[in-house]
């Protein structure tokens, strides 16, 4: 049996899915693979480690299973054609039942994905329908059957505020086919413990934060910290990559005082721009892509019931913060 390894440490971007405007006659908003590919290649050229396709930001819950596979295969093909064969693809699953989850993973693998980012099932969470034993069995069964290595995706904001316990996460970390997790919540204690606990093999289980605004402190929290899977990197990738690189030097004790200062300055500015995503989520990320990169996100932005109209009206309140970050981004691009 081949050795199963975690995804490489680094910066991953949970990319939004691009749609064309609503076709009233067909009641559809078709995929816009041209815009999708333009954005994918921008990120690859900036040096990001990987993409998350069909995740929460990617509106997987608004897509058919066939569209998910089409999206992955088109972007994999575009990356390979341009020589970006090292860019890793994590595929979101976003399904409640085991059979469909495993089926989505299998289709994602066939389309070109390298890892599965498995969102916690949550439909009955607010009704008290889930036990620790049940969640353990659900994830274990998925991992046993998954044709791709699995990362546990803990995102309480989209799972009825269900947060997986430390005991459960430690147990799952020992599964041979579970190679890491994405923590999209602000509980820094959980990140520190899962990154540092002697009960976990940190070579086989990497902890990624879903919050780029916390990357610097979380990279210093323990040997299991793998990096970030963050939305603002969709338009400011070089800044987060620089924070990651500086954080690694700091954690290794090799950073100069000037590098410490640079890391703090960049993290502060990046955290400021992240407040836009905190407030507006997926549609905010799409508006950021439109404003910063000039890539079309379609008349409607997201797929209905998402609608960006209110977000576009608010962008001016954040414009100065975005322009400050763009200055950092431009300088980093020149310095390469």
State yes or no: 57 annotated in a binding site.
Answer: yes
If you write DSSP's letter for every residue of 1-55 in order, what string do you get? -PPP-PPPSEEEEEPPPPBPPPBTTTTB--B-HHHHHHHHHHHHHHT-SEEEESS
As a whole number of angstroms, the distance between CA 238 and CA 194 comes to 27
Q: Is 153 a catalytic residue?
A: yes
State yes or no: 105 annotated in a binding site.
Answer: no
Which one of 115, 130, 139, 153 is the catalytic residue? 153
Which one of 109, 182, 286, 290 is the catalytic residue? 182
Which of 116, 121, 132, 227 minimizes the C-alpha distance to 177? 116
Q: How far is CA 317 from the centre of its chain?
A: 26
- Could you tell me what percentage of the chain is helix, strand and coil, using 3-state DSSP and rounding each to the nearest 5? 50, 15, 35
* SS3 label, residue 309: helix
Which helix (H) or strand (E) segment holds residue 216: the answer is helix 215-219
Q: Is 182 a catalytic residue?
A: yes
| Binding positions for pyruvate | 57, 229
Q: Which residues are catalytic?
A: 153, 182
Summarize the annotated binding site as residue ranges: 57, 229
């Amino acid at each position: 049996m081949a050795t199963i390894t975690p995804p490489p440490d680094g910066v991953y971007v949970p990319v939004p899915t691009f749609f064309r405007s609503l076709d009233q006659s067909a009641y559809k908003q078709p995929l816009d693979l041209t815009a999708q590919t333009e954005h994918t290649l921008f990120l690859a050229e900036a040096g990001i480690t990987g993409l998350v396709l069909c995740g929460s930001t990617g509106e997987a819950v608004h897509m058919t299973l066939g569209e998910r596979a089409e999206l992955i295969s088109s972007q994999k093909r575009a990356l390979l054609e341009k020589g970006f064969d090292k860019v890793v693809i994590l595929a979101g699953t976003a399904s409640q039942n085991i059979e469909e989850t495993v089926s989505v993973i299998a289709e994602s693998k066939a389309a070109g994905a390298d890892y599965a980012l498995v969102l916690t099932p949550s439909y009955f969470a607010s009704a008290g329908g889930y036990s620790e034993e049940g969640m353990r069995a659900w994830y274990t069964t998925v991992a046993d059957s998954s044709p791709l290595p699995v990362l546990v995706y803990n995102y309480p904001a989209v799972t009825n505020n269900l947060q997986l316990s430390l005991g459960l996460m430690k147990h799952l970390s020992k599964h041979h086919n579970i190679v890491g997790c994405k923590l999209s919540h602000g509980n820094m204690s959980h990140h520190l413990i899962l990154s540092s606990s002697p009960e976990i093999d940190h070579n086989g289980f990497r902890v990624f934060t879903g919050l780029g605004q916390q990357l610097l402190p979380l990279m210093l929290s323990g040997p299991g910290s793998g990096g970030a899977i963050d939305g603002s990197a969709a338009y400011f990738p070089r800044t987060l990559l620089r924070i990651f690189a500086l954080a690694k030097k700091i954690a290794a004790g090799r950073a100069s005082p000037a590098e410490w200062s640079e890391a703090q300055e960049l993290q502060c500015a990046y955290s400021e721009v992240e407040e836009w995503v905190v407030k507006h989520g997926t549609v905010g990320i799409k508006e950021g892509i439109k404003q910063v990169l000039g890539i079309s996100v379609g008349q409607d932005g997201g797929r209905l019931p998402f609608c960006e109209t209110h977000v576009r009206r608010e962008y001016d309140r954040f414009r100065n913060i975005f322009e400050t970050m763009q200055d950092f981004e431009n300088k980093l691009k020149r310095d390469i």
